[in-house]
Amino acid sequence: MVIAIEPMINAGTASVKFWSDGWTVTTNDKKLSAHFEHTVAVKKGKADILSTFSLIEEVLKEKR
């Protein structure tokens, strides 16, 4: 089984609007929000994190 865990933290309300493009989601009060995602594969009681942020981390290191 593969699942995506996608928590979202909002500065304001938890109520959201789904846009007609089928992709965009905003909070109804339009305050700042952040979204994070991990894709996880579960097989025989073991979980493997499939998502990686190594490319993002490399770019950030270069900018320091």
Domain segments of the chain as ranges = 2-63
If one counts every other C-beta atom within 10 angstroms of the C-beta of residue 33, the result is 17
Question: Given this model, what pLDDT does residue 52 score?
Answer: 83
Structure confidence by residue, pLDDT tens digits, 15-52: 999 999 998 989 999 999 998 888 999 999 898 888 88
Question: Given this model, what pLDDT does residue 62 score?
Answer: 87
If one counts every other C-beta atom within 10 angstroms of the C-beta of residue 8, the result is 13
The encoded tokens of residue 56 equal 């993002």
Question: Given this model, what pLDDT does residue 30 score?
Answer: 92
Enclosing H/E stretch for 61: helix 54-63
